[in-house]
Amino acid sequence: MKRVVILAGLMASACTMGPKHPTTPIALAPPVAAGTIAPASGPAQTIVPGATVQADWWRLFGSPALDALVDRALAANNDLANADATLRQAREQARAAGGASLPQVDASYQAQRIRTSRVFSNPLSTDPDEYLYTLHTAQVSVAYPLDLFGQLRSKTRSARAAATVAGDKLIAARTTVVANLVSAVIQQAGLSAQILAAQSAVQSNRDVLKLLQQRQALGDIGASDVSAQQTALATAEGALPTLMHQRDHQLGLIATLLGLAAGTPLPPLPTLPELTLPTTIPVALPAQIVANRPDVRAAEAQMQGAAADLGAAIAARLPNITLSANVGGEATAITEMFASGNPFWALIGGVTQPIFHGGQLLHQKRAAEAALDGAKAQYRSAALQAFLDVADALSGLRTDGDALDAATRADAAAAQTLRYTRRQLELGGVGTLALFNANAAAASASSQAVQARAARLGDTVALFQAVGGGVTIPADAGRAR
């Protein structure tokens, strides 16, 4: 009796072998302090620690055209379609793994045409039908793995963890697609504004060249002044192709995110003035960031799956107990299979204890332990990367305000200097070198001002993505379509 109690205790304790919910310490970042980013040249942004990012955060930019683009990308992006299919596959595999621990019932029917040798027959019989006959067999088989040591349960937990990873990766993919699309739209709008400024600079240089050519015809200036202005015009024209190439790249990226081929006509895109800078910046607390970031959640689920794999590897070295049963009938006539004397049944119980597998099971266990250690390190790395992303985005927003003020002052001063210099050139007070410098400074300052405004929008998108994005998956995600 004592042996039975001890054996039962060992079996019960073996059922929980392997860490089911491993934990790994995370050094949380210090909480973000509340504050306001208030540049003199643009709208202020208030940092609200602990606030939750709304799921459709892109609507905070106040552009119906942008909202329509995001809705279309979420419905037609091919990366999201692939992630959704992966989620469906993982969920079905998890259901299949769960079914392996349930009783297995199979039904079978077999018909055999048999010719028996005369050696095994009655030598006094002369009936040839006794040597040639048909045998019909029908049976139902039931098999049930007891899984006392949790190997199948561990495999089921591992498959469910893989499905959780696939779900979090789908959310991460949706967040990435939305963030990339909004960033591409902002970049495209900023480049379009820079192109307009560059075209204005080209036209200004053409006007100056025309004025200098008129003065040259009057003998007021020499050919060197005209050549210098022609150089300035060519320099301004040379800036346009690079900007146009960058804009076309962003247009192709937007088309790809929408599930379209590059070069396909796009829906209306918002301009830079049509995009409103969100004035409230919700920043999750460090614990919320770990809970909200889909990549961190996926790393956590992957760690739990690795722990389940370790439990399965441990259980594989323990006895495996199965129960099975067969019931059916067998006769030479199909109508007599279940007649009196023809039915049969069998009850079978088996225990298998691995003894020698050449070290295979031991090394599989050690490999599972190493995989769990790696998953723990990956989880810590994902959490630290999340904190770094938030810190970078906040630092970018704070410095963007200073950059915007400096770029705005430089733009205004350069534009005023260019007006004065052009007027002095018309009056003959300055040479073409002063005008060349003023034109170059004005073009550079105008471009920097546009880039500073676009940078505030782009870093706001980066912060929304860094704190978790808030993007959710629809209720029908991962279901067969």
Q: How far apart are CA 329 and CA 342, in angstroms?
A: 5
Count of CB atoms situated within 10 Å of the CB of 139: 19
For the cut 60, the answer to whether the pLDDT of residue 19 exceeds it is no
Count of CB atoms situated within 10 Å of the CB of 193: 21
Least confident of 53-57, 248-252, 258-262: 53-57
Q: Mean pLDDT, the chain, as a whole number? A: 84
Residue 308: name the closest of 17, 96, 11 by CA.
17
Least confident of 77-81, 113-117, 119-123, 289-293: 119-123
Residue 395: name the closest of 476, 283, 319 by CA.
283
- Half-sphere exposure in the Cβ direction for 137 (13 Å, CA): 11
Whose structure tokens read 């048999």? 114
pTM to 2 decimal places = 0.82
Least confident of 300-304, 409-413, 453-457, 470-474: 470-474
For the cut 70, the answer to whether the pLDDT of residue 31 exceeds it is no
Confidence of residue 270 (pLDDT cuts 50, 70, 90): very high
Q: How far apart are CA 101 and CA 98, in angstroms?
A: 6
For the cut 70, the answer to whether the pLDDT of residue 6 exceeds it is no
Whose structure tokens read 């023809």? 342
- If you average pLDDT over residues 275-287, what whole number do you get? 85
Helix/strand/coil percentages in the chain, nearest 5: 60, 10, 25
Q: Are 337 and 110 in contact (CB under 8 A)?
A: no
pLDDT for position 13: 40
- Show the beta-strand stretches assigned E in 176-308: 280-283
Contacts of 470 (CB under 8 A, 6+ apart): 52, 53, 54, 55, 56, 57, 292, 464
DSSP string, 3-66: HHHHHHHHHHHHTT-S-SS------PPPPPPPEEE--TTS--EEEEETPPPPTTGGGGG--HHH
Residue 151: name the closest of 414, 368, 435, 461 by CA.
368
For the cut 70, the answer to whether the pLDDT of residue 127 exceeds it is no
Contacts of 438 (CB under 8 A, 6+ apart): 414, 417, 418, 421, 422
Q: Which residue has the higher pLDDT, 481 or 41?
A: 41
Contacts of 362 (CB under 8 A, 6+ apart): 317
Confidence of residue 12 (pLDDT cuts 50, 70, 90): very low
- If you average pLDDT over residues 207-228, what whole number do you get? 80
For the cut 80, the answer to whether the pLDDT of residue 479 exceeds it is no
For the cut 60, the answer to whether the pLDDT of residue 34 exceeds it is yes
Taking the alpha carbons of 406, 409, 412, 418 in that order, is the dihedral positive or negative? Answer: negative
pLDDT for position 29: 63
* pLDDT tens string 322-340: 999 999 999 988 888 888 8
Between the alpha carbon of residue 259 and those of residues 78, 175, 183, 262, 371, the distances in Å are 6, 16, 17, 9, 37
User: Across the strands, what pairs with 357?
Assistant: none
Contacts of 311 (CB under 8 A, 6+ apart): 17, 18, 19, 20, 150, 151, 153, 154, 157
Domains of the chain, start order: 35-123+137-466 (1.20.1600.10)
* pLDDT tens string 190-210: 999 999 988 888 888 888 788
For the cut 50, the answer to whether the pLDDT of residue 10 exceeds it is no
Give percent above pLDDT 90 in the chain. 47
- If you average pLDDT over residues 369-373, what whole number do you get? 95
Backbone phi, psi, residue 473, to 5°: -105, 145
- If you average pLDDT over residues 286-294, what whole number do you get? 83
Count of CB atoms situated within 10 Å of the CB of 4: 8
Six token digits for residue 67: 């909202």
Residue type, 38: A
* pLDDT tens string 412-427: 888 888 787 777 776 7
pLDDT for position 346: 92
pLDDT for position 332: 86
Give percent above pLDDT 70 in the chain. 86
pLDDT for position 4: 37
Confidence of residue 354 (pLDDT cuts 50, 70, 90): very high
Backbone phi, psi, residue 410, to 5°: -65, -40
DSSP string, 178-206: HHHHHHHHHHHHHHHHHHHHHHHHHHHHH
Residue type, 97: A
